Amino acid sequence: MSTPDFSIRPAQPQDVAHIHGMILELAVFEKLEHLVVATEALLHEGLFGARPACEAIVGEENGEVVAFALYFHNFSTFLTKKGLYLEDLYVRQVHRGKGYGTRMLKRLAQIAVERGCGRFEWSVLDWNEPAIQFYKAMGADVMPDWRICRVTGDSLAALAERR
């Protein structure tokens, strides 16, 4: 039995369909598929449009895209440095347990260090205990005192109009 060849590289436009498919798989896993409005065209624009909003890396096993991580820069006023924010990391179910998630996180940490980032952050659902334990084992602090605040859709429009 041969050992699979796993490599990580920056996402390219031809990866959009693979990444989009994994976004849909992730939404099902997180029981949030009802919130997904992402399309391949919107994802392509976000990653490769005139003003990209994010970046991605993909993990390939023997040439097949089996993982992705989508990230962007944020900024810490306390550190006065940019940070790297991981929006999503996903490894296809059949490829889990091979260390690919660890390798993807390590690569993202390397990118953060290379770019002089003061932080590398992400969020995790409070019920996803396996992920929480994985992240802790990787050296992450789960911030118990912080909560994500979000304004979307009609509420966002109303806030923008508020006097």
Distance CA 104, CA 155 (A): 35
Query: Which of 71, 90, 100, 135 is the catalytic position?
Result: 135
How do the residues of the chain divide into helix, strand and coil, expressed in percent and rounded to 5?
Answer: 40, 25, 35
Establish whether 135 is a catalytic residue: yes
The answer to whether the beta carbons of residues 68 and 90 sit under 8 Å apart is: yes
How many CB atoms are closer than 10 A to CB 19? 24
Cβ(107)–Cβ(56) below 8 Å: no
Catalytically active residues are 135
